Structure 1
Amino acid sequence: MDALRRALGGLSLLYALTFATFALLHAGIGLGPLREPVIVPAAIVETLCAGAMLAGAYGALAGRPAAWDRLIYAHAAALGGVLLGMLALAFGPGGGTTLLTWYHSTMALALTAGLAVAFYVSRVRR
């Protein structure tokens, strides 16, 4: 379980970096060849998702007693933000870019898997 907790904590750091990257892109800051339209609400939500994932990663990597609960909350909060972004793209005026579609789909899948693992392990340990 310890290795799984550390692995999920490491993935959470990667997800936080991904959210931070897209927050910068949506704030209008290009990163190399990557550019996205400025969408301030998306930048705010992605910043909050990055913070949630960092909190979950810290709990997991530091071996805190509530690590599994933190990972559950972090993954659930970030998944909510991703689903909100998917709804905004589906019903918003612009269709979004191919990169945004890939980003939302990939993050939704990864966060759902991480949430399932964290939830399962949390319940098994009790």
Structure 2
Amino acid sequence: MQQLNILLSTFLVFLLAIAGVNSYAIDSNHRHEFVKRYVPDRVAPRQAASPSPTPRQPGTVANCLKWRYTQMSGTVADTCDNIVTRFKSIGLTKANLIKWNPALKSDCSGFQLRYYLCVQAGP
């Protein structure tokens, strides 16, 4: 067996590199202790879309950021037009409402109460 003549410090650096240990310490009794630094796993970025509530009509976009539950409020029922008016401040247009909720059909004749509609979608 061949004997290698290397310094202890060189050997320790080599071991640290192999083991993924970040440092070592020598105590008062000259014992060597390897110390591994804790590195937390990377956290995945949050998805922009909100959880999809139910019930929804078929074909609703997957990247929806904001939802509206269609309902009666007193004697007034939601319609495509009053939903667009209500959410105009976040950029909702009738064209986008229909695009994101294709079951509405191009003239909103597919509009139904008691379903969630996407009123804001991400890229």
The TM-score, its normalising length taken from structure 2, stands at 0.25
**Higher helix proportion, which one?**
1
**Higher strand proportion, which one?**
2
The structure with the larger Rg is: 2
The TM-score, its normalising length taken from structure 1, stands at 0.25
